[in-house]
């Protein structure tokens, strides 16, 4: 093994939950996990091709790390229009933190600061494939707390 082999990660593809079993994503997807792939690094990245409607996260929840979620069309001739919708709900539904629903249909990013209640997270009216990019300042994905659905 060469000195820098550990810094080159090839083929972290998950086909049907073999790499990460805690998530309902059924499509082939790519998980770069800091805990597993980067010797304990506090950074992880998930890439998933989305081509149909579904609810990715049903219940509001939190994380104790910052999270960034991008949506990018896979149409090389139109990288602005998702040709579908992505909906994120922020808030816990309390008087002090009411639910706020955001729906995007263009190239976009949802930023979720550590401790922010968010979810459900839904893909709707998907007519063309898009790339879901999920980056987090944590070595692996997990939920800190789960709340009642809106």
How far lies 92's CA from each of 31, 80, 83, in Å?
Answer: 28, 31, 29
* Domain presence at residue 9: no
* Domain presence at residue 65: yes
* Domain presence at residue 55: yes
Residue range of the domain that includes 74: 25-146
Q: Report the SS3 class of residue 23.
A: coil
* Domain presence at residue 128: yes
Q: Residue written as tokens 């994503």? A: 25
Give dist(CA 108, CA 145) in Å, integer: 26
Q: What would the pLDDT profile of 79-116 be if each residue is shown by its tens digit? A: 999 999 999 999 998 999 999 999 999 999 999 999 99
* Domain presence at residue 93: yes
Number of domains in the chain: 1
Q: What would the pLDDT profile of 3-37 be if each residue is shown by its tens digit? A: 888 778 776 666 555 555 455 555 667 878 888 88
The pTM score is 0.85
- Inform me whether the pLDDT recorded for 134 exceeds 60: yes
Bond before 72 cis per omega within 30 degrees: no
* Domain presence at residue 3: no
Q: Report the SS3 class of residue 15.
A: coil
Say which CATH number the domain at 135 has: 2.60.120.10
* Domain presence at residue 2: no
* Domain presence at residue 104: yes
């Amino acid at each position: 093994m060469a000195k820098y082999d550990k810094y080159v990660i090839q083929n972290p593809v998950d086909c049907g939950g073999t790499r990460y079993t805690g998530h309902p994503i059924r499509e082939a997807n790519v998980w770069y996990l800091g805990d597993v792939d980067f010797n304990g690094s506090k950074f992880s990245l998930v890439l998933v091709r989305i081509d149909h409607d579904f609810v990715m996260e049903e219940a509001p929840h939190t994380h104790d790390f910052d999270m960034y979620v991008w949506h990018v069309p896979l149409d090389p001739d139109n990288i602005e229009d998702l040709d579908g919708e992505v909906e994120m709900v922020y808030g816990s539904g309390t008087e002090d933190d009411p639910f706020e629903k955001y729906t995007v249909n263009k190239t976009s990013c949802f930023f979720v600061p550590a401790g922010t209640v968010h979810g459900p997270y839904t893909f709707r009216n998907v007519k063309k494939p898009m790339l879901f990019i999920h980056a987090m300042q944590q070595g692996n994905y997990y939920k800190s707390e789960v709340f009642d659905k809106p």
